[in-house]
Amino acid sequence: MKLVLGRDDLAAAALSAARQAGAEPERVDIKPVHKASRGFVNTSDVDLCELAIVTVLQAAAHGKPVLLLPLTTLGRHQHQTLVTLGRLSVADVEGRSVGVRAWSQTTGVWVRGFLTEQYGIDLRKADWTTYEGHHVEGAEDPSWVERAPEGTKLPADFLAGRVDFGIMGNELPSDDRVRTAIDDAHDVAEQWSKDQGFVPVNHVVGVSEAAAAEHGAAILAAYDAMRSVLAAKEEGGPVALHPVGFTGLRAAFTKAAAYALEQDVIPRAVHYDELVERTCAALGVAPSRLGG
């Protein structure tokens, strides 16, 4: 039973619990963790894998054998990830160029959702450039999105002024010229989360259908162990940073799915109950066993 998890504490807990449940787990070290997604989704290279929330939605929409284990391994505010070098602001996005690493990158999906919902931006009136394809085979960029030339990278294009705005999280370059396009972005993000009742979710945990059939008891044990770790480290506050359980993740998944459909990230609507039912059927448990 092969596992890919970015956090050492979650990996240690999952490995120990799976071993106690009778499995022979092995942690596969892939960094950054998102590089494991393609093999997991398309060819089931590993059994349990940390995944971006949008990758789960695309996998479901394209009929991939991927199940959701409802654990948030990475949650964070996102408004600050829309950046610019000049005097432009979020009000200037229409008619300007915007770069994002991949159209299905979860950070980009959240930010584009904010642009339409909070700022009234028509996404099709901006010039979008992507730099990578999708993790899920069969997924494609919309016709109104341009792919950058092979070998080019968003941070370099952004710093050189070849795109007016960039959507960047961990890949954001360190440069004194960089500024957020949304004024008081962190305050805006905190208020958005208070209003919505959740912090945007980036990464969750996926399980292959084959692993659920073969290692069901070990997967449930790993879920329990990782849930305990996340609960112990939850910082409190008005909304949970790392929600767990099907109930805890419902709002974030529902909103992300709506944004993804509006942005042509997924070819059909993916309803949260579909994900719940598939996971529970594969593991032979009621939703309450997985927090909802």
Residue pLDDT, tens place only, 255-281: 999 999 999 999 999 999 999 999 999
Each residue of 55-80: pLDDT tens digit? 999 999 999 999 999 999 999 999 99
Amino acid at 198: F
Phi, psi (degrees; rounded to nearest 5) at 173? -75, 150
Q: Name the band, by pLDDT with cuts 50, 70 and 90, for residue 239.
A: confident
Can you give the pLDDT at residue 44? 93
Nearest to 51 by CA among 38, 34, 29: 34
The answer, yes or no, to whether residue 235 has pLDDT greater than 80, is no
- Degrees to nearest 5, angle at CA 193 with 224 and 175: 100
> In sequence order, what DSSP letters do the residues of 97-155 get, joined into one string?
EEEEEETT-HHHHHHHHHHHHHH---GGGSEEEEEE--SSTT----TTEEEPPTT--HH
State the maximum Cα–Cα separation within the chain, in Å, rounded to a whole number: 59
The DSSP call for residue 164 is S
**What is the crossing angle of helices 216-233 and 8-20, to 10°?**
140
Q: For every residue of 30-63, which 3-state class applies, written as one string?
A: CCCHHHHHHHHHHHCCCCEEEEEHHHHHHHHHCC
pLDDT tens string 220-229: 999 999 999 9
Structure tokens at 249: 């993740």
